[in-house]
């Protein structure tokens, strides 16, 4: 490697370190509430929820109800996430929605890949 290339790499590294330090300083100025709101938008782990297979007019889906998921933090978090996102969301291969009745049940359906 030539001296010019090494010098360029060193300057780039130093610049990136300065940028990272600046970002870290800014993050430190944010209050705990600001940082918490960022992590709250992480989609809950669907595999931690207890699902039951069902069949509806549009085909098979799965349902998670309150009774089957008592004291299940992932179910509670999923409900909160859906409330914050209009009652429905698509993540990975699933369309997930909150039923409009007062049951608190949540449904999920595998989204088929389009050819």
- Mean pLDDT over 87-106 rounds to 87
- Select the more confidently predicted residue: 114 or 69: 69
pLDDT at position 32 is: 56
- Mean pLDDT over 68-83 rounds to 91
Q: Of the given ranges (37-41, 72-76, 88-92, 101-105), which has the lowest mean pLDDT?
A: 37-41
- pLDDT tens-digit series, residues 6-23: 888 888 888 887 887 777
In the predicted model, is pLDDT for residue 102 greater than 50?
Answer: yes
DSSP-assigned states of every residue in 62-76: EEE-TGGGTT-HHHH
Yes or no: say if 52 and 68 are a contact pair by the CB < 8 Å rule: yes
- pLDDT tens-digit series, residues 35-73: 444 445 567 788 999 999 999 998 999 999 999 999 999
Please tell me whether residue 109 adopts helix, strand or coil conformation: strand
In the predicted model, is pLDDT for residue 31 greater than 70?
Answer: no
Q: What is the mean pLDDT of the chain?
A: 82
Q: In sequence order, which ranges of the chain are alpha helices (DSSP H)?
A: 3-29, 32-39, 73-84
Percent of the chain's residues with pLDDT above 90: 34
Tokens describing residue 69 = 């998921």
CA–chain centroid gap for 105, Å, is 19
Q: Residue ranges per domain, the chain?
A: 3-39, 46-110
């Amino acid at each position: 490697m030539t001296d010019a290339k090494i010098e360029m790499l060193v300057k780039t590294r130093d610049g990136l370190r300065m940028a990272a330090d600046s970002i870290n300083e800014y993050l430190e100025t944010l209050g705990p509430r600001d940082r918490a709101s960022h992590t709250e938008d992480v989609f809950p782990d669907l595999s931690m929820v207890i699902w039951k297979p069902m069949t509806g007019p549009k085909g098979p889906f799965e349902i998670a109800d309150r009774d089957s998921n008592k004291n299940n933090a992932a179910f509670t978090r999923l409900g909160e996430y859906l409330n914050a996102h209009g009652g429905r969301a698509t993540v990975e291969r699933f369309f997930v929605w909150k039923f409009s009745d007062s049951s608190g049940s949540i449904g999920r359906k595998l989204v088929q890949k389009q050819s």
